[in-house]
Amino acid sequence: MSVSRRTLLKTSAIAMGHWLAPLPAFATREDANAAIIATFGDRPLQEGRVSVQIPAISENGYSVPMTVEVDSPMTEADHVVRISIFAEENPIPNVAHFELRPETGIARVQTRIRLAASQRVRAVAEMSDGSLWTSYTFSIVTLAACVL
Amino acid sequence: MPLSWLSWKLTSLTRLAGVRRAGCLILTLLASLTQAEDILSFSANPDLDASMVRSGYRFLTPETRSLQDDDFANPGYLWVDQGRQQFHDSGCNACHQEGALTGAATRYPQLDPELGLINLEARINQCVEDRLERPALKYESHALLSLSAYITNLSKGRPYQIIVTGAAEPHFTAGREYFFSRRGQLNLACNQCHDDNWGRMLRGDKISQGHPNAYPGYRLEWQTLGSLHRRIQDCDTGIRARPFPPGSTEYTQLELYLAWRARQLGLESPGVRR
Amino acid sequence: MNTIRLAVPDKATRGEIIEIKAMIQHEMESGHRPDEYGRPIPRFIIKHFECRYNDRVVFRAEFFPAIAANPFLSFFTRATESGTLEFRWIDQDGGVATELVELEVD
């Protein structure tokens, strides 16, 4: 069989029309940094102690399982006060804030998040001594929630 | 020129370019074109080989599977819980003892002497109207989805027990015909994806066999629970065909064929799907 | 009324750290999605979650539109005494959903 030139052109035209459909504006890494500063103030961030677990490949950006965990003894003297999650390329970088107490015991929170594109998800943890810790994990999103 | 090569090339190109949906469309279109030459050879329409039947569950990532398997975190159970509550609050339990409807969902669609071929949703509505003397629940409404999810969940793990012979046979034949009929602007039939190409990639997605046993199910793309008919509408929309309304005879007949085709699979509702 | 699902152990020993899971039925409409005519669907999300243990806040969360529909949370707390756990979700318009669970500690 053969494909006529007309059919192929028609095919491409339909595909292009879809491609050109407007997409919502995405945030950038700078927007995420700005959101972190808005949340915690312009204070030094140290790498480590906090980890974000999301699948390396998310088959659907509408529901991505996420676990955030902080290495902390969770005592009165030394505990996690707050954890914030930022998705660098979502329309809004903020995802969630969690407030913890010494009696939380284990600094681990799970939820399900939306990812508008393959991107880095960052966590920032604030400790009772005021120090800030951060890390990120990358996830490839095969069905990006282009319309979240 | 071999079109399979071209379609591969185009998908990899679009993937590289980060184009979201265009690649998917080009692939489906080309798939429909490449198969045009086979149009005579599949007029015999063989049904999916029973030994090949695999639940859609097996085409999911480990994360999505574990979401379905988690009796707490599977969001579909929000509807099951609500349905159980409704079942008691609206007086269904005046006739149906707790657990008496276990296995009931496996017997739908079925032939009703007055209503013709009906699925579980239609049976629930018959009860609501005739016994509870209330207006029928709208298809795809929260109330009907909750009840059907609760009742279907009572049959979790059980295989279909439907009848496709005798008076039901014309419906079965019509459903089967629907499955093998090309439709829509993309001119695709259900079997071209779900019999001939299951297990292959349609861009980022693995094509499943198109079984109904997860429904009413929680679809991540919907971000909510929905009926099988809503799912079929999405397929029809995907191939740019005009979808039938949920609860229509056409979809109920197709549901009968799909249930027969998946007959050895256990019901999974509330399943979780992409 | 939004359906709520809670997983809390019935019993715990004093000092034990228990896992709590909470899920609520809610569309979490992000405000980024267009309807079938291309008009944006207005945002409607749950904004705050709170867990109180005998009236003391033990865990709090603030949500943005990137929290998936039917928000699910799992977190921990230390069982200190028998009493009531109160779960409270507050949407952007101030609408509240709550549920109570009794916890026995010995």
Q: Do residues A104 and A67 make contact, with C-beta atoms less than 8 angstroms apart?
A: no
pTM of the shown model? 0.86
Whether the link from the prior residue into B109 is cis, omega within 30° of 0, is yes
Residue A24, pLDDT score: 54
Contact A98 C68 (CB under 8 A): no
Lowest mean pLDDT among A79-83, B203-207, B224-228, C77-81: B203-207
Chain C residues near residue B83 by CB distance under 8 angstroms = none
* Residue B42, SS3 per DSSP: helix
Is A36 part of a structural domain of the chain?
A: yes
Is A148 part of a structural domain of the chain?
A: no
* Chain A closest-CA separation from residue C57 CA (Å): 9
Q: Give residue-wise pLDDT tens across range A41-77.
A: 999 999 999 999 999 999 899 999 999 999 999 999 9
Is B17 part of a structural domain of the chain?
A: no
Which segments in chain B show pLDDT lower than 50?
Answer: 1-43
Chain A residues near residue C78 by CB distance under 8 angstroms = 103-105
Q: How many domains, chain B?
A: 1
* Chain B closest-CA separation from residue C14 CA (Å): 25
Scanning every residue of chain B, which has its alpha carbon at the shortest distance from the alpha carbon of A64?
Answer: B63
A25 burial via Cβ count (<10 Å: 0-12, 13-18, 19+): exposed
Question: Which residues numbered 5-34 in B keep a CB inside 8 Å of some CB on A?
Answer: 19-22, 25-26, 29-30, 33-34
Tokens of C79: 């069982």
In Å, what is the CA distance from B129 to each residue of B110, B122, B125? 19, 10, 6
Model confidence band, residue C73 (pLDDT cutoffs 50, 70, 90) = very high
Option in A7, A12, A144 nearest B20 (CB): A144
Is B15 part of a structural domain of the chain?
A: no
Residue A7 has pLDDT above 50, yes or no: no
Provide the ipTM.
Answer: 0.95
Contact C5 B79 (CB under 8 A): no
Q: Give residue-wise pLDDT tens across range B241-254.
A: 999 999 999 999 99
* Nearest residue to C2 via CA among C18, C24, C31: C24
Is B197 part of a structural domain of the chain?
A: yes
- For B40, other C-beta atoms within 10 Å of its C-beta total 7
Quote the CA–CA distance of B142 and A101 in Å, as a whole number: 38
Residue B53, pLDDT score: 96
Is A55 part of a structural domain of the chain?
A: yes
Is B30 part of a structural domain of the chain?
A: no
Q: Where are the domains of chain C?
A: 4-32+43-105
Tokens of C61: 């969360």
Chains touching chain A through at least 3 C-beta pairs below 8 angstroms are B, C
* Nearest residue to C71 via CA among C59, C61, C58, C57: C61
Q: What CATH architecture is C4-32+43-105?
A: Sandwich (2.60)
* Chain C closest-CA separation from residue A145 CA (Å): 10
Residue type, C49: F
Is A28 part of a structural domain of the chain?
A: yes
Contact A14 B205 (CB under 8 A): no
Q: How many domains, chain A?
A: 1
Q: Give residue-wise pLDDT tens across range A134-148.
A: 999 999 998 754 433
Is B11 part of a structural domain of the chain?
A: no
* Nearest residue to C49 via CA among A54, A64, A97, A93: A97
Is B26 part of a structural domain of the chain?
A: no
Is A64 part of a structural domain of the chain?
A: yes
Query: How does A73-102 read in b/e, with b if 16+ C-beta sit within 10 Å?
Result: ebeeeebbbbbbbbbbbbbbbbbbbbbbbb
Tokens of B169: 């046979």
* Nearest residue to A85 via CA among A16, A140, A135, A25: A135
Angle at B208 between CA B81 and CA B262, to 5 degrees: 70
Residue B20, pLDDT score: 40
Residue A20, pLDDT score: 39
Residue type, B189: A
Residue C79 has pLDDT above 80, yes or no: yes
* Residue B188, SS3 per DSSP: strand
Q: What is the DSSP string of C28-84?
A: -B-S--B-TTSPBPPPB-EEEEEEEETTEEEEEEEE-TTBPSS-EEEEEEE--SSEE
Is B31 part of a structural domain of the chain?
A: no
* Chain A closest-CA separation from residue C23 CA (Å): 10
Is B55 part of a structural domain of the chain?
A: yes
Residue B206, pLDDT score: 87
Q: What is the rounded end-to-end Cα distance, in angstroms, of chain A?
A: 41
Which residues of B lie inside 8 Å of C (Cβ-Cβ)? Answer: 72-73, 75, 77-79, 81-82, 85, 223-224
Quote the CA–CA distance of B64 and B274 in Å, as a whole number: 8
CATH of the domain at A78: 2.60.40.2470
Please give the share of chain A, as a percent, with pLDDT higher than 90. Answer: 73
CATH of the domain at B248: 1.10.760.10
Residues of B marked active site are found at 235
Most A CBs within 10 A among C30, C56, C103, hence the mutation to make, goes to C30
Tokens of B73: 């975190």
Chains touching chain B through at least 3 C-beta pairs below 8 angstroms are A, C
Mean per-residue pLDDT over chain C, rounded:
96
Scanning every residue of chain A, which has its alpha carbon at the shortest distance from the alpha carbon of C33?
Answer: A147
Question: Which residues numbered 62-101 in C keep a CB inside 8 Å of some CB on A?
Answer: 62-69, 71-78, 80
